[in-house]
Amino acid sequence: MLVLHMATYYRKIERDLISWSKLENRKPLILNGARQVGKTYVLNKFAKENFRTVHYLNFESDIKLLSLFQGGLEPKKIIDGIRLHRNIEIDVEHDILFFDEIQACPLALTSLKYFCEKMPSLAICAAGSLLGVRLSKEPFPVGKVHELNMFPLDFSEFLLAIGEVVAADLLSSKDGGPLTVAAHATLWELWRLYLVVGGLPEVIQEFSKSKDSLLKALTDARQKQILLINEYLKDMAKHAGQANALHLERIFRNIPAQLAKVQEDSVKRFRFTGVVPGISQYLRLASAFDWLEGSGLIYKIPIIDSAQVPLRQHVKESIFKAYIFDTGILGALGDIPIKTLLDFEYGTYKGYVAENFALQALKASGVGTVYGWSEGTAEVEFIVQDFVGPVPIEVKSGSVRQAKSLTQFVRRYKPEKAFIFGATLSREDGVVRRRPLYLTGLQLGE
């Protein structure tokens, strides 16, 4: 029986935060990520567990804080102002300052440069809307901050959050050999839940409230996703203005429709015609795509026509695939029925949902830049580059045995390893390694 609880939950990024806190030459930290991925929660949790006192400053809820940065950015003056404003003591050797919603105070973002240079002993972490930070008119403290990227909960974090500890252990174990048929069946069933719920903490929390009815839990999760989508749209209007926000919304809503136009289980390049009336060229939409990608709400995956390294040299800016940052939001945005997702039997839907999940898992695993590959009639969904060269990754939504495009890639470029993520149990076939879809991103280094 599914055990649901979300009182506390573990995020893998906590390990990176602890490593940052112990750096000898520690710079102020900025935690990047889309809204609602849990940045505030994880920073608060980490700070309370690793520092004597946490001084939490929210620039949206306490607008008086803004004036503390308007008289100059000298760190000592700012700290003295905070002390007076909050009537607190701040130990610069043992405490931590947490600047939340930092986009609401652009000068606070700039001040991180001076804290790095003049008060390096004070630990500072910051989080906020990526759209707001990128659009700030104040200079970004390049080279003076430590940046980490945060994503929605991945599948293993999701399992821990809903209390499926044994399943999470099975997923992460690399020493116990291949999964049994029974273990695979259990993980596959839980993975289908993840396709509906996704990895946003508020959605998982909503899902976790209705322990007695799975249908109600999933319906409540979908309703929360719709509310969050509306919040994202409001964010666009707030930072872009009404006219530009219409372009952003049209692109954002169009991505599921374009993903659904799969052929042979493979997503095609994004087409610009018909997205925004009267615009059919990428250049006129480039800034809107940059906004959405910068906000963390979408991923742009360049399609390259050669896998000769370096891969970046084969990128053409206007040729790419576009995906949604969270599989749960994808389902809500595309209005895919919950039962359809749970059954995982839905024609063309199956291919692109599986592919979107795989990309989300790859991003969460920290692989860096991901490419798509199309050369002649051959296509491979994703290419990542490790220290030995390009690694091709094919995504199969079912138990399809044929992988003609991957075979062509292996013959042409002779990679040391290649992956097919699908519905089958793990097995080896020369350099090709077949793995269940739910393991995407977890075993690329093996």
> Domain locations in the chain?
13-149, 155-439
Mean pLDDT of the chain: 89
Give CA–CA dist 337/354, Å, rounded: 16
What secondary structure letter does DSSP report for 211? T
Please tell me the class of the 13-149 domain.
alpha beta
Q: What is the mean pLDDT of residues 88-103?
A: 95
- Residue 348: pLDDT band with limits 50, 70, 90: very low
Sign of the alpha-carbon torsion through 253, 255, 256, 260: positive
Give the separation between CA 105 and CA 43, rounded to whole angstroms.
19
CB 191 within 8 Å of CB 437: yes
Model confidence pLDDT, tens digit, residues 257-274: 888 876 555 678 999 988
Q: Is the pLDDT of residue 97 over 70?
A: yes
Residue 235: per-residue pLDDT: 84
**Structure-block tokens of residue 84:** 């007076």
What pTM did the predictor assign?
0.91
Cβ neighbours, 10 Å, residue 443: 15
β-strands 389-395, 320-324 pairing: unpaired
Q: Are 267 and 321 in contact (CB under 8 A)?
A: yes
Residue with tokens 């042409």: 412
Question: pLDDT-based confidence at 30, cuts 50/70/90?
Answer: very high
pLDDT reading at 122 higher than 60 = yes
Measured CA to CA, the distance from residue 390 to residue 419 in angstroms comes to 11
CA dihedral 301, 148, 175, 392 (to 10 degrees): 20
Q: For residues 239-264, give the mean pLDDT.
A: 81
What pLDDT, on a 0 to 100 scale, did the predictor assign at position 339?
Answer: 84
The predicted structure's pLDDT at residue 123: 98
- Is residue 145 scored above 80 in pLDDT? yes
Calpha distance 42→104 (Å, rounded):
20
Buried b (16+ CB within 10 A) or exposed e, 5-16: ebeebebbbeeb
For residue 204, count CB atoms less than 10 angstroms from its CB and return exposed for 0-12, middle for 13-18, buried for 19 or more: buried
In the block, tokens 């707001």 appear at 132
Q: Give the model's pLDDT for residue 174.
A: 53
Mean pLDDT of 213-241: 90
Whole-angstrom Cα distance, residue 359 to residue 300? 11
Please tell me the predicted confidence (pLDDT) of residue 78.
97
The H-or-E segment that residue 429 falls in is strand 427-429
Rounded Cα–Cα distance for residues 178 and 446 (Å) = 13
pLDDT tens digits, one per residue of 168-213: 988 877 544 678 899 999 999 999 999 999 999 999 999 998 877 8
pLDDT at residue 4 above 60?
no
What is the pLDDT at residue 446?
A: 58
At 276-299, the pLDDT tens digits run 888 888 988 998 999 899 889 999
d(CA 68, CA 311): 46
| Residue whose C-alpha is closest to residue 192's, from 161, 169, 158, 152 | 158
Q: Are 202 and 224 in contact (CB under 8 A)?
A: yes
Contact assessment for residue 150 and residue 39, using Cβ atoms and an 8 Å cutoff? yes
Q: What is the pLDDT of residue 229?
A: 97
Which of 119-133, 308-322, 327-341 is predicted least confidently? 119-133
